[in-house]
Every structure is written in structure tokens, then in C-alpha cells.
Structure 1
Amino acid sequence: MSILDILKYISIVVVGLLPIMNPLTTIPLYMALTSRMTPANKKLQAKKACFYAFCILSTFLLLGNGIIALFGISIPGIRVAGGIIILILALRMIFSGEDSSSSVDTETTEIKHADLDYSFSPLAMPSLAGPGSIAVVMGFGSQIPDGSYMLGYSIVIIGILITISVAYLALASAHIIEKFLGEHGVQAVTKIMGFLLTCVAVQFLASGIRDFYIEFSTM
């Protein structure tokens, strides 16, 4: 396989995965969860979230079928679980404009900054490495021809890495958006994005329930 072919397949992975991951939709959630954090911790949360997302997608690429068989879960199950998590957070964003971590009424710097760790859940999973992204990665893995597993998995992993890098750049630029909008603007955008995330969560739940119905009706 030539270098041009490798680059072509890597681009196919990126083009297929990036719209599903859509890191732009993670920005309002990231801004809401890290609104009281120090700039250094915000940057750390973005780095850790992207690292965890890369690990999750790579693990499901290599061991996805085994994980699903071992724990008896399915993509519809992951979709429903992700929908529930996103729905809870989205409703908090709508009705309070903030996550509960920043609602503690105290003057101490440690609690005011609410330096909690949201990097794995919900930022990495289900936001960046959600059921859709997992399904896409497993789909690419299933298309690798026999005898080319090493090269095929390497191509998909490089594509995942490039996509995650784009996601990190999106999260790292969130402070620019936050500075431009100001405090009241961020609160308004948070409520609007909370509504949109609610729609996404309902769509996740509806898709998962539909897939469950199709799966069980064909048994």
C-alpha cells in the first residue's frame, strides 16, 4: 500500500468520525462544568478529556466486540446510558445555568473554583467518545481486510488521534469564546446549549430504545 493510499484511508477515518464526535457541541458543556475552575485546571481538564476519549475509542477499536460480549452490553445500551447522562447535565444547565459543582455557597478558593474532575465523565464519555463515535470506530475496524490488521488498526488509530487533536483545539479555544461573551453572555449561551443538549439526549434515548425494539423484535 502506497503512502497516498494510507493518507487517503486516514482522511476517510477523520471525515467519518469528526462529524459524529462534533467537538463543537462539547464546548458549552465544557464551559459550564469548568466555569469556576482556574485557567490551569481548565486546560488540564481539556487535555485529560481528550486523552481519555482517545483511549476509549482505541480500546473499543481493538477490543470492542470482546467488551460487549464480556459485559453483555450493546451499542443501544451505551446510547441510552449516554442519553441519560447528557439529559441530566443539560437540565442542570437550563434551570441553573451552571453545574451543581459551582452552586456551593462559600468563599473559600478551593470550593469556589470547584476543582472537580469531569474529564472522564461526561467530557470524554459520552460527549467526545459517545456511542456514535464508538460505533463508527468499530465499523471501521470491522472493514479491515484479513492479513492487514496491523496496518489497518494503525490507520484507524492515527485517524482517531487526528480527530481528538481537533477536539482539543476546540476545547482549548473555549476561553476565547467565554471572554468574548462575558459572564451574562456565557449564562445565556449555556441555557441555549442546555436546551440543544436536551434535544441531543432525547435523540440518543429515542435511537437507543428504537434499536432495542428492533433487536428484540427480531429474536
Structure 2
Amino acid sequence: MSDIIDAARYILLVVVGLLPIMNPLVTIPIYLSLTGGMPEAHKRRQARKACIYAFSILATFLLLGNGIIAVFGISMPGIRIAGGIIIMILALRMIFSGEDTASSVDAAPADIKRANIDYSFSPLAMPSLSGPGSIAVVMGFGSQIPENQQVAGYAIVLAGIAITTCIAYLALASARLIGKALGEHGIQAVTKIMGFLLTCVAVQFLASGIKEFHTEFATL
């Protein structure tokens, strides 16, 4: 029973760490613009595909993270500190500007619509839902999985990613209602709150990485 409680607690930790940086509320305005005039079934299909793509991207970086680390000779503490710095920068932007710049796209919604393409992968999945910040969070969690608990650890992080993308799907599927209820200022307020939570995650990553660096140098 205690193992189930611990697993649920760690899954919740992953969701709390990933949801603020994924921040589907920031994706809602461009989603509404891109899907304007489309049938409801098609809108939901685009939201569903975007979240499936986002899960696939984050899961790939989680599972291949150790291989990337090995190829470039990067230490685990280095990954934690680098991820913490990236997340901290994004979080501070969210707090002080009310915008998540990691979820922004270069093309205007009208330009994307004129191109007549399937936008579920880009710009909704990448970079909006699974941008550099989300990837850094996932790799940061992956770097903290103990070597003797690899299977359970990856399963927990994957479960957290799945829950977060499901929340993102619910947000996009209810985009019109959420947009009307919160308004522009409401979305900015929620973004600032998420930025604060993300700052806490970044500090945890930095503290963990610095502690391990200190331990490594102390044993030399």
C-alpha cells in the first residue's frame, strides 16, 4: 500500500513540475484562432492529435535522455543544473511578463491557416505543448531516477507525462469556454501562478545538481 502511495506522490510531482511549463492555457488563443469555423469533431481531433504528439515527443526525450548524455559525455548533475537554469529563465518570464515565450510561434495564425496544413504537430504539439522547457523538465526528472529503480522510475515519469497531456487535451477541448471564463487577464494571472510553481521546480533541480557536484568534487 505504501508503494502505491509513494508512486502516486511521485506521479503528482511530475505533473506539478511539467504542467506549468506545458501551460495549455497559453496555447488556447492560437488554438481558437486556428480552429475557428471548423466542425467541433474536427477541433477535438486536432486537439487529441496534438496531445498524442506532445506525449510522444516528451517520452522520446525521456527514454533517450541517457543515450544523449552518454554520447556527449554530460554528467547527471550537469543535466540537472542546465535544466534548472532553462526552467528558471522561462518561469521568471512567465511571472514578470505573464507570457510563456517557450509556447510562442513565429508564424501568425492567419498565415498558418492560409498554408492549409495539419497544425496538430506544429505549432500545437511542438513548440507549444512540448517545447524546450517541457523537454528540460522531463530530462531533469529522468536524470533523478535511481539506477536500481529504472523500470519503476520511467513508468512513473511516463504516467505523469500522460496525465499532463490529458489535462492539456481537456483544456484545448474546452478552449472556448475557458477563454470566455478567464479572459486575457485571467489567463495571464494563471500563467504567473504557474510560473511561481515552475520556479520552485527549477530551484529544486539546481539545488540537487549543485549538491551532487559538491559531493563529486569532495571525493576527488
TM over 0.5: yes
Quote the offset at 1:175 in angstroms: 3.1
Q: Mind listing any 5+ residue stretches in structure 2 that lack a counterpart?
A: 73-78, 88-100, 192-220
Quote the offset at 1:177 in angstroms: 4.7
Determine which of 88, 96, 101 is the counterpart of 2:106.
Answer: 88
Q: 1:1-16 to 2 correspondence within 5 Å?
A: 2-16=3-17
* Cα deviation 1:147-187 (Å, max 9, x = unaligned): 11000000000011111111011000013356x59xxxx9x
Q: Against the structure 1 CA distance between its residues 45 and 68, is the aligned structure 2 distance closer, same or farther, given a 3 Å change threshold?
A: farther
Aligned AA (1:86): S
On the 8 A contact 2:171/2:178 being kept in 1, the answer is no
Q: CA RMSD in A?
A: 3.3
Report what 2:155 is aligned to.
154
Report what 1:100 is aligned to.
111
Q: 1:23-62 to 2 correspondence within 5 Å?
A: 23-62=24-63
**Partners in 2 of 1:101 and 1:87 — Cα distance?**
10
Quote the offset at 1:66 in angstroms: 3.3
On the 8 A contact 1:9/1:155 being kept in 2, the answer is yes
* Cα deviation 1:26-68 (Å, max 9, x = unaligned): 1111111222422221111000000000011111000135358
On the 8 A contact 2:7/2:156 being kept in 1, the answer is yes
Report what 2:172 is aligned to.
171
Normalised by the size of structure 2, how large is the TM-score?
0.63
Quote the offset at 1:100 in angstroms: 1.9
**Partners in 2 of 1:68 and 1:5 — Cα distance?**
28
Q: Against the structure 1 CA distance between its residues 101 and 123, is the aligned structure 2 distance closer, same or farther, given a 3 Å change threshold?
A: closer
Q: Against the structure 1 CA distance between its residues 87 and 26, is the aligned structure 2 distance closer, same or farther, given a 3 Å change threshold?
A: closer
Q: 2:148 is paired with a residue of what secondary structure? A: coil
**Partners in 1 of 2:149 and 2:69 — Cα distance?**
23
Q: Against the structure 1 CA distance between its residues 20 and 2, is the aligned structure 2 distance closer, same or farther, given a 3 Å change threshold?
A: same
Identity %: 58
Q: Mind listing any 5+ residue stretches in structure 1 that lack a counterpart?
A: 93-97, 105-113, 197-219
